[in-house]
Structure 1
């Protein structure tokens, strides 16, 4: 793709990066074939190629984003299926990150839209604030679910009852059961420990049982993924910087920094890029990004010791976009099969479920059909249980389907001596 940035504009590192990414695009359109929003709307501007043209024109002109650019970039899931398809290696992830940040900084939004985004950015990334907002949501859900649009979508995502207390506390050390083989830091984040506290508890049990010591840093909170999803770059960078500061004191002697929510893991693995210009944290950010692993990547080389609890049970595996496209991690299916499960894959496993961070709250009209399609595809495998590696996907699929959805690590813990996961108590 030809670009026409002036030398003066290219002196800006951000513009130089945008120019470099744009020049790799050859207009082939392969990306449109795997873009969930393009497949849903049929609008070229709702596909990666169309959005790339919109961003090119906007950045070359050096102008604020208009309503057209705003709406089409808002409708991008950030699933990065296009990057798995692209033959030219276009770094769409970082390009759209620049685009969404520019939209958020320059495009006018209706008052209610600005208000909802501000509330989400405030309430979601903090464990205590999120739990309080969830309590309010549980009380208000019967009314919210009857409302149209975004408020109704928010109400549909609220669980029927408030989940139990956070199981794995910051500032704790969990020693290996016997014969320590490694040491990792666990990033517990903000949403998952509140919505599904059993996930981190299962991860710690499973790792300890197989010789891995787990340290949970104090003051380790949001990784920055949720603000970045909404184009709130400064807030996302601040959260990432805070997590780097929290991890800094425990980095020495670590074999990995593990994340059990794959959407967060994708962001943590990108810290070297996100904080490259932070003079206080750039080196540690690169170090953390190099150590960052999805929990299944740490488990994959271990000799898991199944007890027979899996017993050939069939499960449908949902490949979260953040694992499949964002991190290119393939370990979960191998681990589940080795633990004794029969793993079924749905049709079109590369397509997003529509969760995508805050997408199902901000774009319910597009998110709902994607969620319905994914839940139906998983149910069509005939398996009575769904496994996934990301809390957003788990919530979205459970909302649109009837099958229990559990985290991969909960199933692996169960298969190797841990308790039966929440939600599958009634299964034989």
Structure 2
């Protein structure tokens, strides 16, 4: 680009409403093994480790001197290191690296001033008594056509198009090449269109398209998988910290994508996941192994809800407390007759989620300092309540399956 063109093509700040976990999970990208665009450097003897155990067990004879043994050990170590690097080059996926940006490396743009030189320049002043400013090197700006992001939905839909041009080029193959190039060159900008709409309109459509993308390209570039995994974890954190209606469905949708992204992310370890998720207070929503104490008490509003102005009741929660016990005490507290009690059900005040009477409270509400869960007694017809309970049971099963698949995907990695 010409000078100053990056200002014209500057991408506006994103409108993503959720934050990333801190620290981030995994490694964004691994360094290229012996990049072909860099000068080739031969191995030195100092860079390899010699195996001295064989040297100590060997016998020195007149025909086999100590110097000859050392030379053979150096030769063996160099050959082993070269074989190791050759295997790394063969297993490295070079097409998942932005080669254009990597190969355009210019040492002068990454000039680093040594500490001794910086200390010497601190006392340098000109004739006017003002310090001399250091020379600032202009860094080359990269350009990614952001207009492609507006056509993301159409391009992903074309992955299922089996049409073939007269030249023998398949539509889905061209769409896959475009998507792969976007994910390699600037994955954050390409995924930004989905991430901005995940908390707004058409959330189910965005999650469905993301799932289709990951299924069609199961081995994502490492930087794309890293960005997608961390943003989806932040998406779950968003609904965990501010529960609202539909939060359970959105968390289940995120889990259905997370377990498929795990094999493409480098540096994921189960013990690190447990620590990071516990720190962000979202381990109960993502991990099967979460062991969090339950809430100490629960607040129940009357049939009119919190807006009716009535006095809510509070009940202590034990480890074996079920919603049926809360229901019995709430019905008695608000003076509802026994004949009418079968028409009242416990519903979460924020998420509008109906609860099964036989479920344990500790499985749904966890301890948070100065925060207590709130329920509402809602009058419903038994048929409508039965359908809502069936839907809730199906969604709960969907969540549990997502947690199992996520844990399995992490534990079956070879680096665990």
TM (normalized to structure 1)?
A: 0.25
TM-score where L is the length of structure 2: 0.25
**Structure of higher RCO (CA pairs closer than 8 Å, 6+ residues apart):** 2
